[in-house]
Amino acid sequence: MTSPYRIMLVEDSRTQAIKLTNEFERQGWQVDWAPTVQLALEKLNQNSPDLIVLDYYLPGIRGDELCRRIRMNINTRNISIVMLTMDDTHDAELHGLDSGADDFVPKSVDSDILLARIRTLLGKSRFQSSILGQADHHFRRARLLTIDDSLTYQQFLASELEKEGYQIETALSGRDGLDRILKETFDCALVDLVLPDIDGIEVCRRVNQSRQTTANSVTLLMLTGRESKEDLTQALEAGADDFVGKSSDMAVLKGRIRALLRRKFFQEENRRIAEELKNKELEMLHARAEKEMAQARAALNEELERRVVERTAQLAEANRNLEQKSRENEMFVYSVSHDLRSPLVNLQGFSKELAAVCQEIKGILAEDDLPPAAKERGLALLDRECAENIRFIQTAVSRLSSIIDALLRLSRAGRVEYQCQTVDVHGVVARIIDSMSATATERSARITLYDLPPAWGDPTAIEQVFANLIGNALNYLDPERPGVIEIGSDQAVLESHEQANCETYYVRDNGLGIREEYQSKMFQAFKRLHPEVAKGEGMGLAIVRRVVERHSGKIWVESKVGIGSTFYVVLPSGTADRSLSTNSP
């Protein structure tokens, strides 16, 4: 709810103060009475009212002087002031209006008229700002519109007001004047109460309505030849800012116009300053928000950088641990393989010696003078039991020796120091195909080699990769149909895997294909492509993967049983700028 209006009454007469206080409080207004100028000034410093009702004659100082002091104070100059006096002369009214009063009302006036004038000022007081700047209206020439159907009176008004420096425009009817007010910009309009088409009351009402929706700030002064209480009340209620009789002294009319324009210019200055302050406040808020956002971004970046550093350190430590474990595993495999090699050599030697002993016993049996039946039985046992067991031992030793050799190769694949350079992959693969030509002919296989781009890596290691892949392709061809093997490069596959500065090679065959359950395990040690037709120790693809990964590359397979397999290998490009490549081993 809107709080009640607060009125300060500056009146030295206690009887008059009580009378006015009662009338004001009946209107729902709060009244603060100050019997002296000193007390009034103290109260103004504590709390600003919405309107001041000021007696013209006060002990020690006149009301017009107090009014000037109020107007000179930056914190109180916007407060509306109504001056009351027992002196209703034109000189007193002019002094009061020129000192800064917004209205000048004789104490003898009807109380309803006083209340109507106060109500008009209060209705506009809360639209004003409490912050005022310099509002000297002399810096521009005010533009006035006179609306009167009397051409003679208009000419008289124009000649008098132009002496004050005003720019005067005229309208001979209410409708014409209303149209001009709504379309043009005027500082003040002097409207005759009685007009031939629409009267001054209706003109004020429509202008007041336009103030609610537009920036129209024209002040309205009603002029009339009949100065009745009813006309004044209707005019003020319709939106007029003041009401002056045409019979009044021209000096009084000019004083009223000056008071209206002064209040209007103050309000415009208030709005301008308030808008500037609002814009500055918005700029400050925006700058503060930008600063807080920048600080938040900096804090977030700092936190992210800290986390990245921590995470990088953790990953580096994890990589070091993995590398250490990998080296330990490789050394363990190497040590175990080396330790197993010695007893295997001994076992192989013992099996040879045992075979020699059996052969010697067989010779002895053939020469000894034994019964034929015993001799035949001994020879049969040697041929059947000893020879078979010795062959079994030698086969097992040979198999275990092959496994140990494979483990050693796997271990070396992870430990050997690579000598990286640009590798002519096409030439390497061509030599491999040439070395396997006899096997390809034996298995009716046709090998096609397409152009292969150079890679960056260790030549021996890369040769080992393609030798394993091509050898596997030959080993697992379908014996029921002619074999086809193709070796090439596929840039489209490279792009789909987002490998920058790399080349993608493939080895494709139309062999048996690989069952889906084996595809995810086939690069592990001791896993074979086809257990049912197993060849080798299952180390070839594990070694290939280790070599490829040490080159910062990758390997995968796409295969369908009965159709064939394609192995893809991604290696660093031999034509890329090594200073920019992140994939060089």
Q: What is the pLDDT of residue 430?
A: 95
User: Could you give the CA distance from residue 537 to residue 525 in angstroms, rounded to a whole number?
Assistant: 9
Scanning the structure block, which residue is given the tokens 């050693």?
408
The yes-or-no verdict on residue 531 having pLDDT over 60 is: no
In this predicted model, what pLDDT tens digit does every residue of 371-387 receive, in sequence order? Answer: 777 667 666 666 666 76
Q: What is the mean pLDDT of residues 65-84?
A: 82
Q: Confidence band (pLDDT; 50, 70, 90) for 415?
A: low
**Of 178, 180, 159, 176, the residue nearest 168 (C-alpha):** 159
Q: Confidence band (pLDDT; 50, 70, 90) for 189?
A: very high
Among 77-91, 169-183, 472-486, 500-514, name the one with the lowest average pLDDT.
77-91
In this predicted model, what pLDDT tens digit does every residue of 240-249 receive, in sequence order? Answer: 888 888 877 7
User: Could you give the CA distance from residue 560 to residue 510 in angstroms, rounded to a whole number?
Assistant: 10
Q: What is the pLDDT of residue 427?
A: 95
The yes-or-no verdict on residue 420 having pLDDT over 50 is: yes
User: At residue 138, what is the residue type?
Assistant: H
User: At residue 329, what is the residue type?
Assistant: N
**Of 450, 508, 489, the residue nearest 575 (C-alpha):** 489
User: Could you give the CA distance from residue 572 to residue 492 in angstroms, rounded to a whole number?
Assistant: 16
Q: What is the pLDDT of residue 285?
A: 81
Average pLDDT, the chain: 80
Q: What is the pLDDT of residue 578?
A: 61
- Are 51 and 213 in contact by the 8 Å Cβ rule? The answer is no
User: Could you give the CA distance from residue 53 to residue 101 in angstroms, rounded to a whole number?
Assistant: 10
Q: What is the pLDDT of residue 446?
A: 94
User: Could you give the CA distance from residue 505 to residue 425 in angstroms, rounded to a whole number?
Assistant: 10
Q: What is the pLDDT of residue 253?
A: 85
Given CA atoms 131, 137, 141, 144 in this order, what sign does their dihedral have?
positive
Q: Confidence band (pLDDT; 50, 70, 90) for 563?
A: very high
- Three-class SS state of 370: coil
The yes-or-no verdict on residue 546 having pLDDT over 80 is: yes
- Which of the listed ranges 219-223, 342-346, 450-454 does the model predict with the highest average pLDDT? 450-454
**Residue, of 350 and 315, whose pLDDT is higher:** 315
In this predicted model, what pLDDT tens digit does every residue of 134-143 receive, in sequence order? Answer: 444 443 578 9
Cα-based torsion angle of the residue sequence 251, 252, 258, 262 in order, rounded to the nearest 10 degrees: 150
Measured CA to CA in angstroms, residue 301 lies from 29, 276, 290, 295, 297 at distances of 60, 36, 16, 10, 6
The yes-or-no verdict on residue 543 having pLDDT over 90 is: no
Q: What is the pLDDT of residue 127?
A: 47
**Residue, of 359 and 279, whose pLDDT is higher:** 279
Q: What is the pLDDT of residue 509?
A: 95
What's the first-to-final CA gap in the chain, in angstroms?
A: 79
Q: What is the mean pLDDT of residues 558-585?
A: 77
Q: What is the pLDDT of residue 409?
A: 59
Q: What is the pLDDT of residue 400?
A: 66
To the nearest 10 degrees (0 to 180), the angle between helices 200-213 and 229-238 is 20
The yes-or-no verdict on residue 534 having pLDDT over 50 is: no
Q: Confidence band (pLDDT; 50, 70, 90) for 491?
A: confident
Measured CA to CA in angstroms, residue 247 lies from 225, 250, 318, 334, 542 at distances of 7, 8, 103, 126, 118
> In sequence order, which residues have a C-beta less than 8 Å from that of residue 419 and are 6 or more positions away?
458, 459
Q: What is the pLDDT of residue 172?
A: 92
77's tokens? 């100059």
Given CA atoms 106, 112, 113, 119 in this order, what sign does their dihedral have?
positive
